[in-house]
Structure 1
Amino acid sequence: MRTAFDFTPYCRSTVGFDRLFNLLETGLREDDGYPPFDIVKEGEDSYRITLAVAGFAPSDIEIVAQQNQLTVTGKRADDDGQGDYLHRGIATRAFERRFQLADFIEAGDAGFENGLLSIALKRVVPEAMKPRKIEIGGAPAANDRLEGPNDEGREAA
């Protein structure tokens, strides 16, 4: 069965969406599903990622936000022979989970409670990128010109 999808026809007829198509292509790759996670939209511009990291302590986990990517890495310290396990069902293997963030999404506080790691995300749009209303003024006449800083002291000829 073919799993690759060809975005070439769409790339030819769009401008500036190459990053989006790259994200779609990389998102098609399989992952092992560990650790499991939830993504919740909590408000208009706020989100929360929750990872189930049973068996890990907060000191075993590292969270790095860089550009548009959030990386959560976990590596558990050695057990130092704390007993002979007859069955080991709690997965404590090392992991690295990457999340691709949209533009202007920033990672906020992280919390750890009951084996769940929770990371707050918020969309922070810079003032320069927010829509602004532009007032329409009267059109200047063709012979009117804007005076520059050196035009103040000149006399009319």
Structure 2
Amino acid sequence: MATPGMVLIDALRKTASNLRSGAYYAWGHHGGCNCGNLLQVVTQLSKEEILQYAHTGVGEWTEIAEEYCSVTSVPLGLMMTKLQEIGLTPTDIHNIEYLEDRDVLNALPGGFRWLKRNQREDVILYFEAFANLLEEKLLQQVPVEALLKESMNTPVQEAFTT
């Protein structure tokens, strides 16, 4: 499972928001599929640039993730590095593309169900559930004392204006 972190959580939510707002989506397009849309958020590259980089490797994102070598200097390696830097593993990348992570599916509103990898609404649900799951895990890692200390040092008025 991915390493919980705010950058990853924000990227998943931004990707879901972009898709909900009508961002280009085509499961068979490296730059416009599930991982392609996430990469657009993470790298600030266009779908066309991502497609160009993806064609430096062989296969779909799941195969590219499995073949990734952290030593390579190929542009595709840079994209895989960006995904790993925000906390994803090759297994996570596979699961994002196929909407298969059981923990994420169990966290869906209404409970577990299978989603279709090439359905925009299912992808949005998956990204949002994944973000929520990671946020819960992240909050579990934060000691309660640190939260209390931080809240004690922040004036109430300031907390509501920032």
- Superposition TM-score tier, normalisation by shorter sequence: under 0.3
Higher strand share: 1
Taking structure 2 as the reference length, the TM-score comes to 0.24
Taking structure 1 as the reference length, the TM-score comes to 0.24
Q: Which has the higher contact order (CA 8 A, sep 6+)?
A: 2
Higher helix share: 2
Give the number of the structure whose alpha-carbon radius of gyration is greater. 1
